[in-house]
């Protein structure tokens, strides 16, 4: 049985005049494959044609149908990304978690949950998924407001969500949407035992046991779409293999650098 599972809906991304598959399930799978780690991808989509690029990565895929397809338009100015939400996809329900998803992740103890919006994985769904498992949640599932138009981040999330999370990954802008600062007291106030804050080309911060450790990165000038998803999946695979948090972050950072270098 693969050591981790990546859960998340696929996205349809419009970028630079091109349309392509996106979402944490897709980009996390690419990261795992490049790292040589094992995993299974559990996803939902309303566009079956989006499954072919995911399946071509080579990891096992289990999928469910959705009525609505998360769709985005993206534009980059250096490290700054601007996103327009064209459509919001279906949520993953507690019935999903108890049903077909439970069958897909049976025997897997580590889950990377990769929402595209706050509505994707409600607290009741995470409660089901967390039974006997450790969840790494991407903070997009806390801060991204599920409505069309320019992407909006705010802190109006359900605190119950974090009760079921063992590891929380936040991009810097997400962290500052939730917290007044990145001081230890603020990070500890989230109530999650492991917190990762990523700063793009500046590296990341691993906060465990009340203290933080900075993990540097080397800048790579390339399209960084999916870098955070690949970081999460690789980090979780390393943790599932017994690596300590800081060592896992170093491994994930090196993987993202290799992934981006291949795009230059």
DSSP string, 152-183: -B-S---GGGGGG-SEEEEEHHHHHHH-S--S
Q: Strand 40-45 and strand 18-22: pairing?
A: unpaired
Q: What is the distance between the alpha carbons of residues 16 and 218, in angstroms, rounded to a whole number?
A: 25
Q: What is the pLDDT of residue 146?
A: 97
Query: 181-204 as b/e, with b when 16 or more CB fall inside 10 Å?
Result: ebeeeebeebebebbbbbbbbebb
pTM for this one?
Answer: 0.94
Give the pLDDT of residue 15: 85
Residue written as token pair 């991009």: 171
Q: What is the pairing mode between strands 110-113 and 4-7?
A: parallel
Q: Maximum distance among all alpha carbons in the chain? A: 46
What's the pLDDT score for residue 1? 53
- Exposed, middle or buried, 146 (CB in 10 Å: 0-12/13-18/19+)? middle
Task: Give the integer Cα–Cα distance in Å for 239 and 241.
Answer: 5
pLDDT tens for the chain, residues 1 to 264: 568 999 999 999 998 888 999 999 999 999 999 999 999 999 999 999 999 999 999 999 999 999 999 999 988 776 677 899 999 999 999 999 999 999 999 999 999 999 999 999 999 999 999 999 999 999 999 999 999 999 999 999 999 999 999 999 999 999 999 999 999 999 999 999 999 999 988 999 999 999 999 999 888 877 777 899 999 999 999 999 999 999 999 999 999 989 888 776
Per-residue pLDDT, 219: 86
pLDDT reported for residue 139? 97
């Amino acid at each position: 049985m693969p050591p981790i599972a990546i859960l998340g809906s696929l996205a349809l991304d419009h970028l630079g005049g091109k349309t392509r598959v996106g979402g944490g399930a897709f980009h996390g799978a690419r990261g795992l494959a490049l790292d040589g780690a094992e995993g299974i991808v559990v996803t939902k989509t309303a566009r079956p044609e989006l499954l072919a690029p995911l399946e071509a990565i080579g990891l096992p895929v289990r999928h469910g149908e959705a009525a609505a397809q998360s769709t985005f338009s993206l534009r980059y100015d250096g490290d700054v990304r601007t996103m327009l939400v064209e459509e919001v996809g279906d949520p993953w329900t507690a019935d999903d978690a108890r049903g077909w998803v439970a069958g897909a992740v049976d025997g897997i103890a580590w889950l990377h949950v990769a929402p595209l919006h706050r509505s994707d994985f409600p607290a009741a769904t995470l409660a089901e998924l967390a039974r006997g498992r450790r969840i790494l949640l991407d903070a997009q599932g806390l801060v991204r407001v599920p409505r069309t138009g320019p992407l909006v981040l705010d802190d109006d999330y359900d605190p119950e969500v974090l009760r079921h999370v063992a590891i929380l990954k936040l991009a810097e802008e997400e962290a500052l949407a939730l917290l007044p600062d990145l001081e230890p007291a603020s990070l500890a106030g989230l109530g999650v035992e492991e917190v990762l804050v990523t700063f793009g080309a500046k590296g990341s911060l691993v906060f465990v046991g009340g203290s933080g450790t900075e993990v540097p990165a080397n800048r790579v000038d390339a399209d960084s779409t999916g870098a955070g998803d690949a970081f999460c999946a690789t980090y979780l695979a390393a943790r599932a293999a017994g690596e300590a948090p800081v060592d896992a972050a170093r491994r994930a950072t090196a993987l993202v650098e290799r992934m981006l270098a291949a795009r230059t």
